[in-house]
């Protein structure tokens, strides 16, 4: 890594305009430095330790068991995670502030990743809205509800790019594209933190999982990550970088080893890259027990060794492992780490607490009337809109929207599943507040017009067809005009540690589909999932497929809005849906190779392709249908040649050719024709959500600074090339409308 470090310093000089330290930050560090002078070494390590409470006992998988109260009173805990109850948080805070020697307040962290009380669609789903302002607002609502609960800090945004839907944590991210991922990461940081971290409606954000956690080999959670540094910098780093630039005050180190070193012990990642190059000045927390797990990774002999590695890598806070508090003092006394380093790590933690206003008033986040903050009606309506914008219409032969007065057979494990619709990491979401598809459809179409049966179980504990379920499903289908079949994967199948090798719809649910197909009724599949799936079978057999994801508290009303035609589907995929699992990784921004396939849609040999299936995914990145039809025409490159450092301008005409109003996402892609390194066949470099009335046209103008066309060269410099570029604009990553420009 030494070689990298030297190069990094060079890169840092040429690429990173590290933001100047603000007055507020300077003040926070000044305060921290003064306080550190009064602290004992043990108290310092206390600030670097994070614990969880479970029935009165502090535990971590690292084996630390101690009495919470005495640990807090002795100043040996800096933070707690996952405290769900405000009274418990305030009780612990009071203990820390009033009973420990220096009265340093605790910081409480929790995974509030797509909503706190009101649960928004899972993050991958929300990214399909391409609505950056809405995503920012969803984060602000989550912050308001968290802050009122005395949760000062969220472990979000997850900035991990992933091209592997076998990995269940794709549900927590923004999909496969670094450009869109960066915009979303920055928006979420702005949403959580606002302009004033000390305000009682903002909380600290945490960029995770640093780094490249989403590239786990074979899609297995926690698995090894290895790739070239060029690939890392081009495809994986941009969202983390954008979140740092947006001012996120904390970062989480990932579980995985990266280029041979576990991230939590990688000085190259956590210090050279994150701090020196990206200019991060907040604090780094490890992932759950990740410091201690370096023993199992095989780079540390014991907990003491692991603590030494992590401290030297500049990892500030140990989540749950307990090795910092257990061995920190000894490490200093034995000269294995310096107290100067400990002071630096502590000051960064204290500075964030200071910026949150916790020293000024440690109870400030627990004062609001919760009934006024939780589940505000306007926020619930907003969640409904976001859910509708996140859902993606994948197929429609005309059955949607449903006619008024139609009789519906609503069938499947997720049609009335208040918990599943909240997905993974449900924050403090209350499933009793979920409005299910069944409730919302009964309200919209009349109870007498919606016949319901579950027919099949799918989840953590129960799976398979319910006895008599298929017969009942067929019976109600025969009594109805249309079948809405809610199938796919449950909320439990999303999030951490649910990797799957088979990403098709479970076989029993396919059996149900087959039985219903025989009735000859029109079938609309409502696909529940937190990941991209292989749904060839469902697409072939159903008349329409609406990807409903795990749509959150208001998923039901959103589905009713869409199937009734009150809202027009406008979501576009941010992760390719594979044609077959064996294609993975399949993503739109792949390379050409010297022998590209002649057709993406035919099996063939002697090229980068398969002899048994097509190259193209079933649905590409950017794809999504509407009840109307949008036409893209008149692509104009307004700046056919542009100076390096200038701005490329492209315009396109978009026309709504259908009979109803609708929203579309116009997407701009480029390709660097002759570059220093091989470049993706297409890269997203601009997008705009637009609303068009029936028959209306609009000219969309894109402005792309040439700096956005920069990439990592073999000497690790970040710059754009002079020369020719292709450009396409359209409604997905296969957009045919093409132009050219040249950078001089
Ligand atoms: C996850 C993190 C999460 C942490 C705290 C870990 O298992 O990987 O994403 O923030 O737990 O709950």
pLDDT digits (tens, 9 = 90+) for 319-358: 988 899 999 999 999 999 999 999 999 999 999 999 999 9
Nearest to 651 by CA among 701, 689, 704, 706: 701
Q: Where in the chain is the domain with CATH 2.60.40.10?
A: 628-743
So what's the pLDDT on residue 12?
A: 42
Pocket test for ligand 1, best of 496, 497, 498, 499 (most atoms within 8 A of CB): 496
Q: Where in the chain is the domain with CATH 3.20.20.300?
A: 2-355
Neighbours of 20 (CB within 10 A): 9
Residue nearest to atom 7 of ligand 1 (CA): 288
Residue nearest to atom 6 of ligand 1 (CA): 288
Give the nearest ligand 1 atom to 254 CA: 8
Q: Which pLDDT tens digit goes with each residue over 362-382?
A: 999 999 999 999 999 999 999
Specify whether the CB–CB gap between 708 and 672 falls below 8 A.
Answer: no
Residue 490 CA to ligand 1 centre (angstroms):
20
Neighbours of 17 (CB within 10 A): 7
Phi/psi for 388 (5° steps) reads -65, -40
So what's the pLDDT on residue 18?
A: 60
Pocket test for ligand 1, best of 288, 289, 494, 499 (most atoms within 8 A of CB): 288
What DSSP character marks residue 625? B
Residue 149 CA to ligand 1 centre (angstroms):
19
Give the nearest ligand 1 atom to 209 CA: 9
Give the nearest ligand 1 atom to 206 CA: 10
Residue 251 CA to ligand 1 centre (angstroms):
12
DSSP characters over 345-376: HHHHHHHHHHHTTTTT-TTGGG-S-HHHHTT-
Lowest mean pLDDT among 18-22, 563-567, 680-684, 698-702: 18-22
Rounded to whole angstroms, the Cα distance separating 466 from 463 reads: 9
For 2-355, CATH number out of 3.40.50.300, 3.30.413.10, 3.40.50.2300, 3.20.20.300 equals 3.20.20.300
Tell me whether residue 287 is one of the annotated catalytic residues: yes
DSSP characters over 675-727: -SS--BS-EEEEEEEEEE-TT-EEEEEEEEEGGGG-EE-TTS-EEPPSEEEEE
Write down the mean pLDDT value for the chain. Answer: 95
Tokens of 62: 């690292």
Q: Which pLDDT tens digit goes with each residue over 504-555?
A: 999 999 999 999 999 999 999 999 999 999 999 999 999 999 999 999 999 9
Apex 392 CA angle, 391 and 397, nearest 5: 130
Q: Which pLDDT tens digit goes with each residue over 88-131?
A: 999 999 999 999 999 999 999 999 999 999 999 999 999 999 99
Pocket test for ligand 1, best of 61, 151, 155 (most atoms within 8 A of CB): 155
Pocket test for ligand 1, best of 111, 157, 205, 285 (most atoms within 8 A of CB): 111
Catalytic residue from among 164, 177, 245, 287: 287
Question: Which residues are 59's β-sheet partners?
Answer: 52, 65
Pairing outcome for strands 107-110 and 250-253: unpaired
Nearest to 281 by CA among 27, 10, 14, 29: 29
Residue 136 CA to ligand 1 centre (angstroms):
22
Give the nearest ligand 1 atom to 425 CA: 12
Give the nearest ligand 1 atom to 82 CA: 12
Rounded to whole angstroms, the Cα distance separating 562 from 559 reads: 5
- Using the predicted structure, report yes or no on whether residue 133 has a pLDDT greater than 80: yes
Q: Which pLDDT tens digit goes with each residue over 275-316?
A: 999 999 999 999 999 999 999 999 999 999 999 999 999 999
Residues with CB under 6 A from ligand 1: 81, 111, 155, 208, 287-288, 496
Residue 287 CA to ligand 1 centre (angstroms):
6
Nearest to 130 by CA among 168, 177, 166, 162: 177
Q: Which pLDDT tens digit goes with each residue over 205-245?
A: 999 999 999 999 999 999 999 999 999 999 999 999 999 99
Rounded to whole angstroms, the Cα distance separating 317 from 342 reads: 11
Apex 696 CA angle, 691 and 698, nearest 5: 65
Please name the residues in contact with 2: beta carbons below 8 A apart, sequence gap of 6 or more: none
In the structure, what pLDDT confidence band is assigned to residue 10 with cuts at 50, 70 and 90? very low
Residue written as token pair 């309506």: 381
Q: Which pLDDT tens digit goes with each residue over 58-74?
A: 444 455 566 778 889 99
Residue nearest to atom 2 of ligand 1 (CA): 287
Q: Which pLDDT tens digit goes with each residue over 141-191?
A: 999 999 999 999 999 999 999 999 999 999 999 999 999 999 999 999 999
Apex 552 CA angle, 550 and 556, nearest 5: 90
Specify whether the CB–CB gap between 313 and 285 falls below 8 A.
Answer: no
Give the nearest ligand 1 atom to 155 CA: 10
Nearest to 459 by CA among 535, 528, 362, 533: 528
Specify whether the CB–CB gap between 426 and 118 falls below 8 A.
Answer: no
So what's the pLDDT on residue 8?
A: 45
Map residue 207 onto helix, strand or coil: strand
Residue nearest to atom 10 of ligand 1 (CA): 155
Specify whether the CB–CB gap between 110 and 52 falls below 8 A.
Answer: no
Q: Is 201 exposed, middle or buried (0-12, 13-18, 19+ CB in 10 A)?
A: middle
Rounded to whole angstroms, the Cα distance separating 275 from 390 reads: 35
In the structure, what pLDDT confidence band is assigned to residue 15 with cuts at 50, 70 and 90? very low
Average pLDDT over residues 77-91: 94
Pocket test for ligand 1, best of 79, 171, 285, 287 (most atoms within 8 A of CB): 287
Average pLDDT over residues 585-595: 97
Rounded to whole angstroms, the Cα distance separating 406 from 714 reads: 61
Spell out the SS3 assignment of 451-508: EEECCEECCCCCCEECCCHHHHHHHHHHCCCEEEEEEECCHHHCCCCCCCCCCECCHH
Residue 255 CA to ligand 1 centre (angstroms):
9
So what's the pLDDT on residue 352?
A: 98
- Cα 55 to Cα 66, 67, 628, distances in angstroms: 12, 11, 55
User: 628-743: what CATH class?
Assistant: mainly beta
Residue 285 CA to ligand 1 centre (angstroms):
11
Residue 55 CA to ligand 1 centre (angstroms):
20
Nearest to 189 by CA among 134, 141, 244: 244
Specify whether the CB–CB gap between 466 and 413 falls below 8 A.
Answer: no
Nearest to 123 by CA among 218, 187, 212: 187
Q: Which pLDDT tens digit goes with each residue over 236-274?
A: 999 999 999 999 999 999 999 999 999 999 999 999 999
Specify whether the CB–CB gap between 605 and 595 falls below 8 A.
Answer: no
Residue 509 CA to ligand 1 centre (angstroms):
31
So what's the pLDDT on residue 55?
A: 56
Rounded to whole angstroms, the Cα distance separating 625 from 242 reads: 30
């Amino acid at each position: 890594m030494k070689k990298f470090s030297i190069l990094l310093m060079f890169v840092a000089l040429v690429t990173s305009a590290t933001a100047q330290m603000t007055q507020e930050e300077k003040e926070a560090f000044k305060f921290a430095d003064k306080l550190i002078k009064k602290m004992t070494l043990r108290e310092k390590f206390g600030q670097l330790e994070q614990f969880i409470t479970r029935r009165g006992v502090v535990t971590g998988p690292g084996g630390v068991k101690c009495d919470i109260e005495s640990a807090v009173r002795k100043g040996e805990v800096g933070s707690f995670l996952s405290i769900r109850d405000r009274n418990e948080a305030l009780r612990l805070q009071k203990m820390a502030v009033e009973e420990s020697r220096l009265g340093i307040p605790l910081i409480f962290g929790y995974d509030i990743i797509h909503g706190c009380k009101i649960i928004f669609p899972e993050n991958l789903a929300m990214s399909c809205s391409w609505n950056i302002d809405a995503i920012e607002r969803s984060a602000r609502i989550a912050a308001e509800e968290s802050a009122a609960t005395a949760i000062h800090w969220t472990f979000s945004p997850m900035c991990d790019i992933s091209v592997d839907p076998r990995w269940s944590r794709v549900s927590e991210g923004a999909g496969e594209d670094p450009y869109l991922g960066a915009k979303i990461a920055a928006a979420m940081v702005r949403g959580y933190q606002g302009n004033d971290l000390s305000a009682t409606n903002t909380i600290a954000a945490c960029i995770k999982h640093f780094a490249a956690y989403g590239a786990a080999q074979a899609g297995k959670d926690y698995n090894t990550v290895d790739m070239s540094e060029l690939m890392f910098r081009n495809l994986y780093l941009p969202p983390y970088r954008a979140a740092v630039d947006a001012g996120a005050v904390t970062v989480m180190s990932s579980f995985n080893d990266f280029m041979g070193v576990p991230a939590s012990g990688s000085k190259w990642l956590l210090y050279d890259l994150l701090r020196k190059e990206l200019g991060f000045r907040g604090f780094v927390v490890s992932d759950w027990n990740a410091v201690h797990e370096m023993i199992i990774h095989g780079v540390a002999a014991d907990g003491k060794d692991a603590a030494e590695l992590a401290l030297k890598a500049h990892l500030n806070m140990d989540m749950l492992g307990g090795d910092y508090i257990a061995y920190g003092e000894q490490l200093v006394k034995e000269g294995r780490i310096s107290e100067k380093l400990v002071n630096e790590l502590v000051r960064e933690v204290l500075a964030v607490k200071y910026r949150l206003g916790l020293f000024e008033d440690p109870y400030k986040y627990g004062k609001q009337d919760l009934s006024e903050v939780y589940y505000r009606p306007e926020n619930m309506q907003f969640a409904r809109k976001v859910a509708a914008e996140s859902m993606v219409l994948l197929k429609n032969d005309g059955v949607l929207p449903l006619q008024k007065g139609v009789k519906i057979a609503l069938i499947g494990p997720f049609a009335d599943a208040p918990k599943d619709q909240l997905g993974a990491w449900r924050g403090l979401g209350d499933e009793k507040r979920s409005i299910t598809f069944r409730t919302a459809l009964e309200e919209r179409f009349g109870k007498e017009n919606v016949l319901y049966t579950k027919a099949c179980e799918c989840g953590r504990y129960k799976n398979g067809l319910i006895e008599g379920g298929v017969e009942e499903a067929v019976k109600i289908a025969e009594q109805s005009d249309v079948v809405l079949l809610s199938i796919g994967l449950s909320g439990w199948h999303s999030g951490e540690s649910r990797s799957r090798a088979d990403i098709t719809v479970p076989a029993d649910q396919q059996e149900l589909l087959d039985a219903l197909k025989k009735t000859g009724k029109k079938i609309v599949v409502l696909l529940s999932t937190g990941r991209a799936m292989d749904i060839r079978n469902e697409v072939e057999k159903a008349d329409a497929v609406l990807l409903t994801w795990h749509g959150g508290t208001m998923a039901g009303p959103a589905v009713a809005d869409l199937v009734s035609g009150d809202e027009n589907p406008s979501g576009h995929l941010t992760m390719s849906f594979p044609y077959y699992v064996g294609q993975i990784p399949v993503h739109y921004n792949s390379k050409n190779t010297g022998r590209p396939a002649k057709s993406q849609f035919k099996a063939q040999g002697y090229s980068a392709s398969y002899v048994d299936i097509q190259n193209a995914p079933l649905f590409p990145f950017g794809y999504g249908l509407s009840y109307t039809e949008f036409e893209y025409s008149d692509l104009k490159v307004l700046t056919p040649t542009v100076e390096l450092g200038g701005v490329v301008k492209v315009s396109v005409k978009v026309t709504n050719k259908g009979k109803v109003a609708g929203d579309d996402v116009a997407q701009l892609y480029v390709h660097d024709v002759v570059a220093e390194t091989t470049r993706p066949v297409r890269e997203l470099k601009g997008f705009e959500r637009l609303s068009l009335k029936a028959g209306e046209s609009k000219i969309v103008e894109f402005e792309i600074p040439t700096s956005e066309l920069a990439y990592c060269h073999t000497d690790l410099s970040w710059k754009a090339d002079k020369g020719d570029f292709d450009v396409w604009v359209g409604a997905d990553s296969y957009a045919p409308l093409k132009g050219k420009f040249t950078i001089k």
